[in-house]
Structure 1
């Protein structure tokens, strides 16, 4: 039991940040993190150690998120509302409006990207994960994560040039 407690202490933050990066919702991320560790506890004895523990846990979390994503149809509006709390407040009302509008436009552009590119972008930008970690989570290599992020960034920049 102490192993499981240590597992929870050591990896809670990693799993939570990963989930927050793809859900954009603090509440949903916390709920899914708890469910991830519950599922991990149930299958801990069958973990072979082929991958890092953090990768294994994030894979469980990703599958739970996909399940939740399919179940819920209102995830997009919720994630935008929850993420709006992350922008530091400015004294100027006009500045808040400009920042909110810019952030909304950025998330709209991210939503237009294909699923894998969008997931890499979210993991890098909101999850603050390294390209190596992103590659491990998505079962790809570091170079793939770098190239996917770069191409996604280029698509967004081209979109901004058109405006």
Structure 2
């Protein structure tokens, strides 16, 4: 379904609810998996996805259409993820010294990825990256987004994104070669 059709429905007070349901149908799953790759835990991803769409609903009048609807939703979801991860690292709610340790343990027991050893190693290596590098790597490698699209989502320069991606790839290679 075309974004323009959904946006028209969202902008019309009489069809706003219908437009929102269309937006959910089109983008909820993609947003969920984007979030899930960042936070790993299903329940957290579910909450963040819900918060993303609540923020979108509450800020529909601020959407100017300068970017695509998908890009706007990804930007909201990305900011929600990064804020969530900052809070988790700051609170240190777990007896482990690092939230990444918790995520790695959760990942080992998760049905999110296959049991193949290389996939598990890659996922664990990703957890060792700084949040923003992991985000850029996920968007480029898994979501196959172009740097221009990632720049819109993250509101970061293309040069900085390329550098982050390059550093992420090098760190992943080093981590995988250690094992």
Alpha-carbon deviation of 1:35? 1.2
Aligned to 2:133: 117
| TM-score w.r.t. length of structure 2 | 0.66
Asked if 1 retains the 8 angstrom alpha-carbon contact of 2:100 and 2:127, the reply is no
Aligned to 1:79: 103
Q: Give the secondary-structure state (helix, strand or coil) at the position aligned to 1:85.
A: coil
1:5 aligned to which of 4, 21, 33: 21
* 1:10-159 correspondence runs (5 A): 10-72=26-88, 73=92, 74=94, 75-80=99-104, 81-82=106-107, 84-89=110-115, 99=117, 103=120, 106-107=122-123, 109-125=125-141, 127-132=142-147, 133-140=149-156, 145=161, 148-159=164-175
Alpha-carbon deviation of 1:38? 1.0
Q: Against the structure 1 CA distance between its residues 142 and 86, is the aligned structure 2 distance closer, same or farther, given a 3 Å change threshold? A: same
Asked if 2 retains the 8 angstrom alpha-carbon contact of 1:19 and 1:29, the reply is yes
Q: Against the structure 1 CA distance between its residues 161 and 12, is the aligned structure 2 distance closer, same or farther, given a 3 Å change threshold? A: closer
Q: Against the structure 1 CA distance between its residues 113 and 31, is the aligned structure 2 distance closer, same or farther, given a 3 Å change threshold? A: closer
The size of the alignment, in residue pairs, is 152
Alpha-carbon deviation of 1:121? 2.1
| TM-score w.r.t. length of structure 1 | 0.71
Any unmatched runs of 5+ in structure 2? Answer: 1-16
Q: Against the structure 1 CA distance between its residues 26 and 118, is the aligned structure 2 distance closer, same or farther, given a 3 Å change threshold? A: same
Any unmatched runs of 5+ in structure 1? Answer: 90-95
State the 4+ residue runs in structure 1 displaced beyond 4 angstroms: 105-108, 141-147, 159-163
Provide the alpha-carbon RMSD of the alignment. 3.0
**1:135-158 residue CA offsets vs partner (Å, 9 max, x unmatched):** 332224667645533442223324
Write the distance in 2 (CA, Å) between the matches of 1:9 and 1:31: 17
Q: Against the structure 1 CA distance between its residues 27 and 112, is the aligned structure 2 distance closer, same or farther, given a 3 Å change threshold? A: closer
The answer to which structure, 1 or 2, has the higher relative contact order (CA under 8 A, 6+ apart) is 1
